[in-house]
Amino acid sequence: MIRAYLFALDPTDAQVEPFRSHRGAQRFAYNWGLARIRANLGQREAERCYGVAADALTPAVSWSAYSLRRDWNAAKDQAAPWWAENSKEAYWSGLANLATALTNWPESKTGKRKEVSTRSGSTISSADIHPPKGRETS
């Protein structure tokens, strides 16, 4: 049996802006990682179209949470000079969510992940899940 608890937050006026900032940081890291992966996939696809041999393609970017975090740490000063204004865990959670999403998406397309549960207890079938823009398969 799985037991879960849902807590409602009631932030003070002084806490609202830091909450928003941390949530924005999480989303920024998620979007940064996704853009990086999409750019890498696009580059590799363009190279294939030009007849570049498989062993000469731009190296693939790893989708693991660990690799995304390592790459973020290397790029954060350039990508988000304001990163220190938030907890490093805000960025980490965005990258961890991205790694999970990237794992779940192909599994849903191949039938390994038939349906998922939502917070309300309803389920969503793989037919209801659509790929990110530019990642459609035929």
Note the pLDDT tens digit of each residue in 58-117.
999 999 999 999 999 999 999 999 999 999 999 999 999 999 999 888 777 777 766 655
Per-residue pLDDT, 105: 80
Which residues sit opposite 125 in a β-bridge? 115
Whether 48 is covered by a domain: the verdict is: yes
Mean per-residue pLDDT, 106-133: 61
Tell whether 30 is covered by a domain: yes
Within-domain flag for 86:
yes
pTM: predicted TM-score of the whole model, two decimal places: 0.75
Question: What is the tally of structural domains in the chain?
Answer: 1
Model confidence over 3-18: pLDDT tens digits?
888 888 899 999 999 9
For residue 84, the 8-state DSSP code is G
Cα–Cα distance measured from residue 27 to residue 65, given in angstroms and rounded to the nearest whole number: 15
Answer whether residue 134 is part of any domain. Answer: no
Report the amino acid identity of residue 39: A
Question: Residue 72 and residue 34: Cα distance in Å, rounded?
Answer: 12
Write out the residue range of the structural domain in which residue 21 sits. Answer: 17-128
